């Protein structure tokens, strides 16, 4: 039996929604949000995924810093035995993507970067209304953070080639990334939406 695609968050899908999404995200104060690019997470990824995503994240960081927009890192605090166990080597930010002096690092314990953290307060202090999101893992912290951000009143640009995951028992990493790029594009809560774009098309 064939399945029909229905995106309940937006209510409809088509040209009118696409035009709305594009216009809704222009000329607003932005921040780059880098989620969980930690040694223990990156080392779980295949070499192909690392070669594909890490340079794109680096490009986003370079562009953001050159333009002067805030860069905020999310760092996951894993429990004992977890690949991101707090204060172990795996917990540290990946060396080639580490924060520059003065860039804020917010620690979390759940997939939602807003839950139980100061992220919303820090964004409010800076007058941020639009988030550019990159990092990992695609189907957990990236997906959850993008969705939660729209419900809290932020517009989101997800860098389609700058989030990462690994194969599971059902799908390859490439399939998971492609799936989330598809389902998150135009996901919305009220007037706030996610837009998915490749790194090279994201303007700062």
State mean pLDDT over 166-187. 97
**Residue 78: inside a domain:** yes
**Residue 118: inside a domain:** yes
pLDDT surpassing 50 at residue 3: no
Confidence at residue 10, expressed as pLDDT on a 0 to 100 scale? 44
State mean pLDDT over 165-187. 97
Domain that residue 105 falls in: 26-201
Confidence at residue 8, expressed as pLDDT on a 0 to 100 scale? 42
pLDDT band at 28 (very low <50, low <70, confident <90, very high): low
Instruction: Give the CATH number, domain containing residue 151.
Output: 3.40.50.850
**Residue 6: inside a domain:** no
Number of domains in the chain: 1
Tokens at 113, concatenated: 């970067």
Backbone dihedral angles phi then psi of residue 193, each to the nearest 5 degrees? -140, 165
pLDDT surpassing 70 at residue 186: yes
pLDDT for 35-47, tens place per residue?
A: 999 999 999 999 9
pLDDT band at 204 (very low <50, low <70, confident <90, very high): confident
State the DSSP string of the chain.
Answer: -------TTTS--SHHHHHHHHHHTSS--EEEEEE--BHHHHTTS-HHHHHHHHHHHHHHHHHHHHHT--EEEEEE-B-TTSTTBTTSGGGSBPGGGPPPTT-EEEEESSSSTTTTSSHHHHHHHHT--EEEEEEE-IIIIIHHHHHHHHHTT-EEEEEEEEEE----SS--HHHHHHHHHHHHTT-EETTEEEEEE-GGG---
Confidence at residue 85, expressed as pLDDT on a 0 to 100 scale? 98
**Residue 66: inside a domain:** yes
CA distance 7 to 186: 9
Mean pLDDT of the chain: 89
pLDDT band at 29 (very low <50, low <70, confident <90, very high): very high
**Residue 15: inside a domain:** no
pLDDT band at 27 (very low <50, low <70, confident <90, very high): very low
> 141, 142, 159, 202: which one is catalytic?
141
**Residue 88: inside a domain:** yes
- Counting Cα atoms < 13 Å in the Cβ hemisphere of 102 gives 4
**Residue 13: inside a domain:** no
The answer to whether residue 8 is catalytic is no
pLDDT for 118-155, tens place per residue?
A: 999 999 999 999 999 999 999 999 999 999 999 999 99
pTM above threshold 0.85: yes
Confidence at residue 84, expressed as pLDDT on a 0 to 100 scale? 98
**Residue 107: inside a domain:** yes
């Amino acid at each position: 039996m064939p399945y029909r695609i229905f995106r309940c968050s937006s209510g409809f899908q088509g040209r009118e929604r696409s035009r709305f999404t594009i216009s809704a995200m222009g000329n607003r104060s932005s921040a780059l949000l880098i989620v969980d690019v930690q040694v223990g997470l990156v080392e779980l990824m295949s070499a192909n995924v690392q070669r594909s995503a890490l340079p794109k994240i680096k490009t986003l960081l370079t562009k953001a810093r050159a333009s002067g927009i805030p860069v905020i890192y999310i760092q996951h605090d894993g429990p004992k035995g977890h690949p991101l166990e707090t204060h172990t080597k795996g917990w540290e930010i990946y060396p080639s993507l580490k924060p520059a002096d003065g860039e804020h690092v917010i620690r979390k314990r759940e997939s939602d970067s807003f839950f139980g953290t100061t992220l919303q307060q820090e964004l409010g202090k800076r007058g941020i209304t639009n988030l550019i999101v990159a990092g990992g893992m695609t189907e957990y912290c990236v997906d959850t953070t993008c969705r939660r951000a729209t419900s809290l009143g932020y517009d989101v640009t997800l860098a389609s080639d700058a989030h990462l995951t690994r194969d599971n028992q059902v799908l390859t990493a490439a399939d998971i990334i492609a799936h989330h790029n598809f389902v998150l594009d135009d996901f919305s809560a009220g007037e706030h939406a996610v837009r998915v774009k490749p790194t090279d098309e994201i303007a700062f």
